[in-house]
Amino acid sequence: MTKIEKCGIANCGLTAAASLESETLCREHFISACYARLDQYDEIRNGTGLRTGDMESVRRFINESTRQADAMEQTAKGLDNLDRAKLVHIILSASELGRHLRRSPRKIAAIAVRLSSEKLGGAWEEDTETVLVSRYGALVRCKHPAKAGETVQVQRADTGESALARVAWQRPTGTEDVRVGVEFLSSENFWGLDWGAVEEAR
């Protein structure tokens, strides 16, 4: 955050450290807002289930909360162990929620991409292809080890378009042919597919 903003919760007045759905929040209120949303989604999931219309907002929440909790956990000054544990809990709960949502339509498609990681001390790039694509990410062949939570850049070989993605998980399928599941942080419909039609075709 470049300019100093205040937490949007009435009577708080602390410096904003994050935002959710464009509301600025201090660290404490960000944590409690994330917990409230995660509880709410738990209830929906155990009850009526999520509707397709809710999925976009849940996705947005997962992306926003994970990215910011992760950044906060790594960079915030004066973070005590309890706050740190809460942030890690948010990241894990959000990724678990993401796994539940991953029933969104997927399409088997080999699309040539370049994966690159700017990991400190271990940057790499690899020309490879997808195995499976979904609206929110892809399963990609990848020889380089990538840990869950790491950020990678995905660039399409055909259009040159690129987007940041987070490694959600990695599945070794032998010694050489490792696959990673990635979820986009920034792109809407990176693959340019008509997902409504993909869903109907299932």
By CB under 5 A, name the binding residues for Zn ion: 7, 9, 12, 14, 26, 29
Q: Which is nearer to Zn ion, 14 or 148 (CB)?
A: 14
Minimum Å gap between C-beta 14 and Zn ion is 5
Residue number with CB closer to Zn ion (25 or 138): 25
Of 14, 37, 13, 40, the closest CA to residue 27 belongs to: 14
CB of 153 to Zn ion, least distance (A): 33
Nearer to Zn ion, 33 or 97 (CB): 33
Instruction: State whether residue 129 is helix, strand or coil.
Output: strand
The minimum distance between CB 25 and Zn ion, in angstroms, equals 6
- Nearer to Zn ion by C-beta: 26 or 38? 26
Smallest separation, CB 2 to Zn ion (Å): 19
State how far the Cα of 87 lies from the Cα of 65, in Å rounded to an integer.
Answer: 9
Output 14 or 112, the one with its CB closest to Zn ion.
14
- What is the Cα–Cα distance from 196 to 89, expressed in whole angstroms? 34
The DSSP secondary-structure symbol of 6 reads B
Residue closer to Zn ion (CB basis): 77 or 202: 77
Helix (H) / strand (E) element for 100: namely helix 81-101
Among residues 130, 131, 123, 126, the alpha carbon closest in space to that of 114 is found at 126
Q: Minimum distance from CB of 8 to Zn ion (Å)?
A: 8
Nearest distance from residue 24's CB to Zn ion, in Å?
9
Q: Could you report how far apart the first and last alpha carbons of the chain are, in Å?
A: 42
The secondary structure of 136-200 as a DSSP string is TEEEEE-SS---TT-EEEEEETTT--EEEEEEEEEEE-SSS-EEEEEEESS-SSTT---HHHHHH
